[in-house]
Amino acid sequence: MGMAHVSLFETTMQSLQCCRPLARNLRAADVLLLLGGLALAFLLWLLASPGVQANGATVTEVYRGQEGAYQVVVRAIAPRLVRGNAHLSIIVQEAASQRLVSDAVVSVLAQGPDGATTGPVETYHEIATPLYYDVNLPLGALGLWRFTVSVVGLQGEAELRFPLEVEDPVVSWGAVGGLLALVLLALPLAVVGLRAMRRGKKDPALLKGRG
């Protein structure tokens, strides 16, 4: 066994030895408090989770359509985009075989309700998700925007058009719920730790490992 492995083993064992006095001072009420806090935190996290994770973020399918030889699926964080820098993830498939297309040139054009246009902006591939065509679009106006996705590949060319609503940012209840879950989990840990330390001071024999 190498020196690094020996050092890590010794450090781990010392940490466990330091935690033993605190564990001896735990009572049934403390354990119940910890389990209750953990259960509440987990329940709150479940309630605050808005959807399924995909492509590294919570995503919603906002459009699916077919034109020519291609089927296109567009995903965003929410059904309605938020004013500012909007992120879209696009999947391109061959309409006949449903085979994913990863070598096409895909661009997105957005036209706002005030007539202003953004793009066309060419998409890019993330290293972790090479089958997605990702794009960031600055959307400055509220209301209904009209998007055009252009696909150029071995199967030919296609343009797909669809509308999406853009609104002001709202409170992220998922982030709020996650923060509250951390607080609910941290408070019981702190309370139990303080109780155990106080009982250890009152009864030094516990800290020395006797009884």
Residue with tokens 């309370």: 191
Which of 19, 14, 20, 13 lies closest to 210 in space, CA to CA? 20
pLDDT of residue 27: 57
DSSP conformation class of 109: E
Per-residue b or e along 77-101, where b marks 16 or more CB atoms closer than 10 Å to that residue's CB: beeebbeeebbbbbbbbeeeeeeeb
Distance CA 16, CA 163 (A): 59
pLDDT of residue 127: 84
CB 21 within 8 A of CB 207: yes
Per-residue b or e along 48-63, where b marks 16 or more CB atoms closer than 10 Å to that residue's CB: beeeeeebeeebeebb
pLDDT in tens, 172-209: 555 555 666 666 566 666 665 666 666 655 555 544 54
Tally of CB atoms within 10 A around 31: 11
pLDDT of residue 47: 53
Distance CA 129, CA 119 (A): 23
pLDDT of residue 177: 59
Q: Are strands 81-82 and 156-167 parallel, antiparallel or unpaired?
A: parallel
pLDDT in tens, 68-92: 999 999 999 888 888 888 999 999 9
Question: Domain ranges in the chain?
Answer: 26-52+171-204, 56-167
pLDDT of residue 210: 46
- Domain 56-167, CATH: 2.60.40.10
Report mean pLDDT in 10-residue bins for the chain, 211 residues. Answer: 46 47 52 60 55 49 94 90 90 94 95 91 89 92 95 95 87 58 61 61 52 46
pLDDT of residue 1: 47
